[in-house]
Amino acid sequence: MVSWSDLLRRRHRIKTTTLGVAASLTEAIVLSTDVLRRRLQDEGLAWTHPARFESNECLLECALFEWFVRDITLTNEFGSQAEGIRRALGGRLLIDLLRSGLSPASLNGFDRVSHERFAEYQEALEAGSSLQALGHRAWLRISGTDEPSERMTMLLAIRARAELEKLRGIGRGYIVSEKAVPTLRSVSDVGPE
């Protein structure tokens, strides 16, 4: 699997922009979401809850989880440019989700939902020293049920830990210039291309 750190290194050796970082992150989130969905399928979500697994909501929740894990590292790795990267990343991810086949209706309130999920996941992170609370919260959102699953909680917690380890130190080798970053557009402004 290609991580976003590999994509950044490949595309931008020394100097990049906030948009360049956001583009690499978006690509990595999309790839990681696909990997996560295959893993969930292998673990049985596709046959225990087939309607949920195939739903737009499940795909969106997987993407939000992968995005959140990467967002954790932005401030530590990119300092003052982190906020500009976040703004650009949200817009790019919204466009990629539309391109992947999600209906515009399923992305109504994307800003609100992403902010709510990030606040919820941040609260889970602050609840303890391990990532189990985050894994538990993410599993409930991804599965769309109130049924806890220790196995799936651990799968998501271990996945988050591994991704965070891969991302450690990624910002050191880059100079990120501050460029104007487009604001996040609403779903009604963006259509599939």
Q: Which residue has the higher pLDDT, 136 or 100?
A: 136
Q: How high is the pLDDT of residue 135?
A: 96
Q: Rounded to a whole number, what is the distance in angstroms from the first to the last CA of the chain?
A: 27
8-state DSSP, 54: T
Q: How high is the pLDDT of residue 53?
A: 95
Q: Is the pLDDT of residue 173 over 70?
A: no
Give the rounded distance of the alpha carbon of 106 from its chain centre: 17
| Total of domains in the chain | 1
Residues 36-90 pLDDT 10s: 999 999 999 999 999 999 999 999 999 999 999 999 998 888 888 889 899 999 9
* Backbone angles phi and psi of 44, in degrees to 5: 105, 0
Average pLDDT, the chain: 85
Q: Which residue has the higher pLDDT, 118 or 15?
A: 118
Is residue 125 one of the residues assigned to a domain?
yes
Residue 65 belongs to what domain range?
4-180
Is residue 18 one of the residues assigned to a domain?
yes
Is residue 191 one of the residues assigned to a domain?
no
The answer to whether residues 98 and 107 touch, using CB atoms and an 8 Å cutoff, is yes
Is residue 193 one of the residues assigned to a domain?
no
Helix (H) or strand (E) holding 183: none
Tokens 């950044």 label which residue? 8
Q: Is the pLDDT of residue 33 over 60?
A: yes
